[in-house]
Each structure stands twice: as structure tokens, then as C-alpha cells.
């Protein structure tokens, strides 16, 4: 078999799976497309740092931990390589230094609850926007004042 034929076979084998160029930008907490697909439309995923009570707050808000069985394509060489969590929850050390390392856990929430939460946040943002609008109808207005995005 010629060298060109070997190159062609290798290229076809690589093309069968999604190829990520060596040296390309990748995030350390990014899930594979295959893992992401199974959550689409049903769950919203979020990495939550285990500090300042954030895990407990997330659980009170309806988030649950993602377990390794939920993300089978990650494999032992990826996130699970640093996953020393005794409860086998998907996690990753996200901060190392002189302090104790910070571990982030992958958590999920039902998409309906997530959308409700986003609407509640947006209502607060709109209240802030309204409170910052310049006074009109005979009142003073501030030139160059705050104008919320439309």
C-alpha cells in the first residue's frame, strides 16, 4: 500500500468522528456534542463551583448533579481523570494555588424551571431599567442619561 493510500485511509477514519484540530481553542469544561445532545431541550447544564455555599444554593433552586453515566462519551481520560469525588459526580478542579483547590460540579435543572428562573431575572432587570429612565412629562431629564437597550 502506498503512502498516499495510507494518508487517505487515515483521513477517512478521522472524518468519521468530529475532528478538532490540534492546537485549536477548547474549553476545559466543554462537553462533547454527543453528551450535549442528550440534554438539549430537557435540561440546562451548569458548572457550579464548590465554594461559598453555591452547591447548596443550586440544589435548593432545583439543580441536581450530573453523574458519569449521564455523560458516557467523556471517558476516563477527560473530566473523570480529575474526578475524585466519592459520590461519582462529574467534577473538575478549576482553581489550584496556595489555597485549597476549588472543584466545579456539573449540575442540571429541568428546562421549564430554568426558563421560569430566567423570566424572573429578566423582570428584575426590567424594573432596574425602568427606575433609571429619565423623568419626562414636565420633569427634569438628564442629558446623556441612561437608555436601556431595546
Q: Residue 43 — very low, low, confident or very high, per pLDDT cuts 50/70/90?
A: very high
pTM of model > 0.85: no
Distance between CA atoms of 38 and 71, rounded to whole angstroms? 9
Q: Are 109 and 65 in contact (CB under 8 A)?
A: no
Mean pLDDT of the chain: 76
Going from N- to C-terminal start, the domains of the chain cover: 27-132
Find the range with the poorest average confidence among 5-14, 47-56, 58-67: 5-14
Q: What is the pLDDT of residues 106-129, one digit of tens each?
A: 999 999 999 999 999 999 998 888
89's CB contacts (< 8 A; 6+ apart) are 65, 66, 67, 83, 105, 106
Residues in a beta bridge with 45? 108
Amino acid at each position: 500500500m502506498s503512502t498516499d493510500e495510507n494518508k487517505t485511509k487515515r483521513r477517512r477514519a478521522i472524518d468519521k468522528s468530529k475532528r478538532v484540530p490540534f492546537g485549536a481553542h477548547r474549553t476545559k469544561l466543554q462537553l462533547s456534542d454527543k453528551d450535549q445532545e442528550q440534554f438539549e431541550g430537557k435540561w440546562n447544564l451548569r458548572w457550579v463551583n464548590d465554594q461559598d455555599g453555591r452547591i447548596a444554593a443550586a440544589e435548593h433552586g432545583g439543580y441536581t448533579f450530573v453523574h458519569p453515566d449521564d455523560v458516557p462519551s467523556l471517558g476516563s481520560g477527560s473530566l473523570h481523570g480529575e474526578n475524585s469525588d466519592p459520590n461519582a459526580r462529574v467534577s473538575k478542579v478549576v482553581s489550584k494555588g496556595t489555597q485549597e483547590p476549588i472543584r466545579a460540579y456539573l449540575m442540571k435543572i429541568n428546562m421549564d424551571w430554568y426558563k421560569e428562573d430566567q423570566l424572573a431575572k429578566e423582570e428584575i432587570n426590567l424594573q432596574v431599567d425602568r427606575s433609571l429612565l429619565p423623568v419626562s412629562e414636565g420633569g427634569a431629564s438628564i442629558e446623556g442619561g441612561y437608555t436601556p437597550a431595546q
